[in-house]
Amino acid sequence: NGGNDSMDTCNKISKYMQSVGYECRIMGVPKTIDNDLWGTDKTFGFQSGINVATYCLDAIHTTATSHSRIFVVEVMGHKVGWLTLYAGVAGGADVILLPEIPYSVDNIVKKIEERERNGKHFTVIAMAEGAVPKEVAELSKKDRKAAVMAQPNGTFTSQLAAQIQEKTGHETRITVPGHMQRGGETCPYDRFLSTSLGAAAAQLIVEEKYGNMVALQGDKIVPVPLEEVAGKLKTVPVDCDEIKCARAVGI
């Protein structure tokens, strides 16, 4: 029950148990708020995480509007940006920054200035934890890691807020909902999805089809061999429909 690391562990344990003849059967179910698990369209936990992050963005709009401020809302997601992308669109963010698309501070400032010219004296930015500026993305893997580790809490959120405030002269604040996105009340969609996947996993056990992860693909729940899932990450394609949607509405 978990994400990438959990499914990788499941696969290793399953293979080991088979090699030593020990009667322990393994079945994986996909649970992570990041929705970054390869082989399944959706993971349970993802929609509940979206709900929390979206609520935060909705709530921030009130102060951002009344005080004419810029807010950077740091959403969970070190390696992939599905949560930030969905919550950003749903929560009406003006800028969305993802790990998959390195950002330019100057481009963000241009967006803020464009909004100013249109009479909108506030901007809400949804920023994934793992979002990095272009100059950092171009570094070697070792140097990039060092640059990330040098930042407070390993994110560029504070740096970006300071840069925006310096370049625009507007008060820029940071909001970090943090681990609230991982807990609390589970939304009905995730309750239904987890129940459906759990029932499908139980059926595979009855049929003795072990060593699989149950996955949602389209409108079907299907088994996917754990060895196909292990070690793979489902990132946000830069040309996906969700990205096109965000850009089409001016984000």
The catalytic residue positions are: 34
CA distance 81 to 96: 9
Burial class (CB in 10 A: 0-12, 13-18, 19+), 119: exposed
Query: Which pairs count as long-range contacts for 188-197, CB under 8 Å and 24+ apart, including other chains?
Result: 189/47, 190/44, 190/45, 190/46, 190/47, 190/48, 193/42, 193/44, 193/47, 194/29, 194/31, 194/44, 196/221, 197/29, 197/30, 197/44, 197/221
Contact of 187 with 86, CB cutoff 8 Å: no
